[in-house]
Amino acid sequence: MKYTDHHVHTSHSPDSDADVREYIMKAKALGLDFVMFTDHVDFGTTDELFMDHIDYGEYFSTMKKLQEEHGFPVQVGVEIGYERNRKSEIEEFLARHPFDFVIGSIHYGDGMDFYQGDFFDGKDQGEAYLRYFEILQEMVEEFHNYDVIGHLDYITRYGPYKDRFYDYDRFDGILDSILKSLVERDKGIELNTSGMRGPLGTFFPKGEVLGRYRELGGRTITVGSDAHFSQDYYSGIPEAMDQLKALGFETVSSFTARKEKRIRL
Ligand SMILES: [Zn+2]
Ligand SMILES: [Zn+2]
């Protein structure tokens, strides 16, 4: 079985114009078993654009129609932007919709935006990264209705710092605590390839984080491109698989109806 890209945005996400049909055709041409979409539903947003959430009644029926039209299986996942003050709304939202797969992501911190940069105002790099990891730790400890954490060290993508990289050792206390919680609760991490297409030239999270997760007993890794354009579909997925193998992982995880299936690498 060829692994399916597990992180894909379509024109239903506020920051993408990508055509669903083009993705389906690409997945079909690649010989995948199915295509998976994970559009944004952000509960932590401070950006007006992201406040309007998708009408999932319509979304599920559109996807079903496209599946029939193309004779190709379409799965519906979601990328939840977590915000602790809206936890009960998130739970209600997830209970209402039969998603195949849920990515839990942090895109905002303390009511501020990483993308616009205000989160970083007045913080040096160490303070900003630590605060981000604290917010992630809160999520991991109090919210359990997701399958994998999205782009775990995504904070490194933003921020006005000269060298955006970090050493695991600098944050090992909090990172270990996040990874241990994940392992205890049988939660996974996604290996997000989008950083390979940006100036950092790296996957999220960095190999050290994945390696430590494995050392602690973690085995659930999904791989996704985080494509917002159909031309980015599947980009970096084979390289990510190679990296997982090099780190000692024997399987990669796929989700259908929120159930994990491990596929040999
Ligand atoms: Zn994201
Ligand atoms: Zn995404």
Distance, CA 222 to ligand 1 centroid (Å)?
A: 14
- pTM summary value: 0.97
Distance, CA 104 to ligand 2 centroid (Å)?
A: 10
pLDDT exceeds 80 at position 252: yes
Residues with CB under 5 A from ligand 2 (ion): 79, 226
Residues with CB under 5 A from ligand 1 (ion): 105, 150
Distance, CA 205 to ligand 1 centroid (Å)?
A: 12
pLDDT at 164: 87
Distance, CA 72 to ligand 1 centroid (Å)?
A: 26
Distance, CA 203 to ligand 1 centroid (Å)?
A: 13
pLDDT at 254: 98
Write a three-state SS string for the chain. CCCCCCCECCCCCCCCCCCHHHHHHHHHHCCCCCEEEEEEEECCCCCHHHHCCCCHHHHHHHHHHHHHHHCCCEEEEEEEECCHHHHHHHHHHHHHCCCCEEEEECCEECCEECCCCHHHCCCCHHHHHHHHHHHHHHHHHHCCCCCEECCCCHHHHCCCCCCCCCCHHHHHHHHHHHHHHHHHCCCEEEEECHHHHCCCCCCECCHHHHHHHHHCCCCCEEEECCECCHHHCCCCHHHHHHHHHHCCCCEEEEEECCEEEEEEC
Distance, CA 233 to ligand 2 centroid (Å)?
A: 12
Distance, CA 40 to ligand 2 centroid (Å)?
A: 7
Q: Tell me: the pLDDT tens digits for 31-67?
A: 999 999 999 999 988 888 888 788 999 999 999 999 9
Query: Among all ligands shown, which has an atom nearest to the Cα of 232?
Result: 2
pLDDT band at 12 (very low <50, low <70, confident <90, very high): very high
Distance, CA 105 to ligand 1 centroid (Å)?
A: 6
Determine the average pLDDT of the residues in 188-208: 95
pLDDT at 243: 97
pLDDT band at 1 (very low <50, low <70, confident <90, very high): low
Average pLDDT, the chain: 95
Determine the average pLDDT of the residues in 238-255: 98
Determine the average pLDDT of the residues in 119-133: 95
Determine the average pLDDT of the residues in 228-232: 97
Structural domains in the chain?
Answer: 20-264 (3.20.20.140)
